């Protein structure tokens, strides 16, 4: 893979280590204007670390960054932005009480005054230039996740960013919003921007990228044009070094008794939510983030009491269940926030393992830490947690390996009800396939509430899906109902209800 033009950015023999962990080793990578470069790699391969150095969040231990052939050294994200490097993060950095236009011009230079009307007009012109639909006067708090992402992109474009880095940008978007994002990426590329696209979704990479760089264990092991890739399976094989089909055999499973029942939950962003979950099934909750899924999960998992309505878990009402629960054969929660709610980054892996399993390893007032350590050492191999050092802190693990730690801990508890929020978000294809198999196997003895924004995942795993919008369950139906499955994207966007079919 070569280009007749010199690169806008060159990473030259970039290396970065964290203690004994070599995140990047002698990376050489060219980023060209007018091209979309996808960065692929397994969890812990070094993708995020590499981009964090380009964006000024981290500094390399060795090597150098060149922009237009000139070496630069960034000691802050501000310096990177001033040099034309911008990154769109998974967690948006917006002031929710302000309008779209106010967020775009929040960092205006001191002493520069701009009228409200002029801010609105400039925002409208910028959005139109890149074919993005956004209301400059809308409050951030009222926007969907896709619209908020557009604001983040427009912030970088207003700053004249020449290189835009996107880290898992589709994780919180509906299918129509993903299509609009890809149109915007292509438009930016055609107008001379250099785009870096980090994703684990191989079909998205093949759809939007011009070229691909593959990292494995901190090194670039392959670079190629998308036109050279014959299939998603081939791309997966190049990435992980073995055949990965990302297919599962979801055989019918006999359903048993009701394990979880929610009835007319309201308040905390919910409006009359009711559902039932039986042993032997996976019920998917699909929808754009911010439509009540978080409140539903927190109520079911005991983080907040139901404001209105009732919940029964394993035959007990909510209050009694959480007053008498144990570690084993009960409810396990795999939260989306793996770095905050699920783990403590400053604690080592054994201590994180004991967060939800300590009763299993307690004898009277004594905590059998060595037994927990021994059990976790076995699980690090079973779940391929890298590095397999139980004395490392959780903060030393990549996002994907941190997720594997949480999964290992929660499946060790042999739960009867599993509430899993985005369980494969940020996982590579091989790890995703393993998680899918674990969930399908667990449903033999458990009921699983799977909260996901990935429709492919929902349709691959779930027996039934419930679509949420605006705090309500719009509809619940089996995944074999092809007519309703076709309309899920519209339901997620609030454009369709069971009684209203959108025109066109």
Q: Which residues make up the CATH 3.40.50.300 domain(s) of the chain?
A: 9-240, 258-330+415-492
The answer on pLDDT for 498 being more than 90 is: no
Non-local (6+) Cβ contacts of 265 within 8 A are 272, 273, 274, 296, 299, 306, 307, 308, 309, 311
* CA–CA distance, 172 with 495 (Å, rounded to integer): 18
Q: What is the mean pLDDT of residues 297-303?
A: 93
Query: Domain 258-330+415-492: which topology?
Result: Rossmann fold (3.40.50)
Sheet of 21-31: strands edge to edge?
21-31, 9-18, 62-67, 70-72
Non-local (6+) Cβ contacts of 383 within 8 A are 404, 405, 407, 408, 434
The answer on pLDDT for 461 being more than 70 is: yes
**Residues pairing with 270 in the sheet:** 267
The answer on pLDDT for 421 being more than 80 is: yes
Q: What is the pLDDT of residue 412?
A: 94
Q: How confident is the model at residue 370 (pLDDT cuts 50, 70, 90)?
A: very high
User: What does the DSSP 8-state code read for residue 139?
Assistant: B
The residue whose two tokens read 């812990």 is: 44
CB 273, CB 292: distance < 8 Å: yes
16: cis peptide before it, omega within 30°? no
85 or 20, greater pLDDT:
85
Q: What is the pLDDT of residue 502?
A: 37
14 or 144, greater pLDDT:
14
User: What does the DSSP 8-state code read for residue 54?
Assistant: H
The answer on pLDDT for 69 being more than 70 is: yes
Q: Which token pair is 12? A: 């030259």
Mean pLDDT for all residues in the chain: 88
Non-local (6+) Cβ contacts of 263 within 8 A are 274, 309, 310, 311
244 or 275, greater pLDDT:
275
CATH classification number, 9-240, choose in 3.40.50.300, 3.40.710.10, 2.60.40.1220, 3.90.870.30: 3.40.50.300
Lowest mean pLDDT, pick from 159-168, 365-374, 429-438, 470-479: 429-438
Phi, psi at 286, each rounded to 5°: -115, 145
CB 65, CB 11: distance < 8 Å: yes
Lowest mean pLDDT, pick from 91-95, 188-192, 392-396, 408-412: 91-95
Q: How confident is the model at residue 501 (pLDDT cuts 50, 70, 90)?
A: very low
Q: What is the mean pLDDT of residues 158-170?
A: 89
Q: How confident is the model at residue 248 (pLDDT cuts 50, 70, 90)?
A: confident
Lowest mean pLDDT, pick from 194-198, 275-279, 379-383: 379-383
The answer on pLDDT for 145 being more than 90 is: no
Percentage of the chain lying above the pLDDT 90 cut: 54
* CA–CA distance, 211 with 199 (Å, rounded to integer): 13
């Amino acid at each position: 893979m070569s280009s007749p033009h010199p690169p806008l950015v060159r990473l030259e023999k970039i290396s970065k280590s964290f203690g004994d962990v070599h995140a990047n080793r002698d990376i050489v990578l060219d980023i060209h204007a007018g091209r979309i470069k996808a960065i692929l790699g397994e969890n812990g391969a070094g993708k995020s670390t590499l981009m964090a150095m380009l964006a000024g969040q981290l500094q390399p231990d060795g090597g150098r960054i060149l922009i237009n052939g000139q070496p630069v050294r960034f000691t802050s994200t501000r310096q990177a932005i001033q040099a034309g490097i911008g990154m769109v993060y998974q967690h948006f950095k917006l002031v929710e009480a302000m309008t779209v236009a106010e967020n775009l011009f929040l960092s205006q230079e001191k002493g520069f005054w701009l009228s409200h009307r002029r801010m609105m007009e400039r925002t409208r012109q910028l959005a139109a230039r890149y074919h993005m639909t956004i209301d400059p006067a809308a409050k951030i708090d009222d926007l969907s996740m896709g619209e908020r992402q557009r604001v983040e992109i427009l912030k970088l474009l207003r700053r004249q960013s020449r290189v835009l880095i996107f880290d898992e940008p589709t994780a919180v978007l509906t299918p129509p919003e993903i299509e609009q994002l890809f149109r915007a990426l292509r438009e930016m590329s055609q107008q001379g921007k250099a785009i870096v696209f980090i994703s684990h979704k191989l079909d998205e990479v093949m759809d939007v990228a011009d070229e691909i760089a593959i990292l494995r264990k901190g090194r670039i092991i392959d670079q190629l044009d998308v036109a050279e890739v014959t299939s998603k399976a081939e791309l997966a094989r190049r990435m992980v070094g073995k055949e990965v089909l990302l297919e599962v055999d979801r055989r019918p499973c006999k359903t048993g008794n009701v394990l979880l029942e929610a009835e007319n939950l309201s308040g905390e962003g919910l409006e009359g939510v009711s559902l039932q979950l039986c042993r032997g099934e996976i019920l998917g909750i699909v929808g754009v983030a911010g439509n009540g899924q978080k409140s539903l999960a927190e109520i079911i998992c005991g983080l907040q009491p139901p404001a209105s309505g009732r919940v029964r878990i394993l035959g007990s009402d909510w209050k009694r269940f959480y007053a008498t629960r144990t570690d084993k054969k009960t409810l396990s929660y795999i939260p989306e926030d793996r770095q905050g709610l699920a783990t403590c980054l400053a604690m080592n892996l054994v201590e994180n393992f004991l967060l939800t399993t300590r009763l299993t390893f307690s004898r009277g007032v004594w905590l059998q830490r060595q037994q927990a350590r021994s059990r976790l050492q076995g699980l690090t191999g079973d779940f391929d947690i890298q590095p397999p050092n139980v004395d490392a802190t959780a903060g030393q693990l990549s996002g994907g390996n941190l997720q594997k730690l949480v999964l290992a801990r929660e499946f060790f508890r042999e739960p009867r009800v599993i509430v899993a929020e985005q369980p494969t978000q940020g996982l590579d294809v091989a790890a995703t396939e393993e998680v899918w198999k674990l969930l399908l196997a667990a449903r033999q003895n458990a009921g699983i509430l799977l909260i996901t924004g990935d429709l492919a995942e929902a349709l691959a795993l779930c027996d039934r899906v419930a679509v949420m919008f605006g705090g309500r369950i719009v509809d619940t139906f089996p995944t074999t109902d092809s007519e309703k499955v076709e309309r899920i994207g519209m339901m997620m966007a609030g454009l369709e209800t069971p009684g209203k079919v959108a025109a066109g």
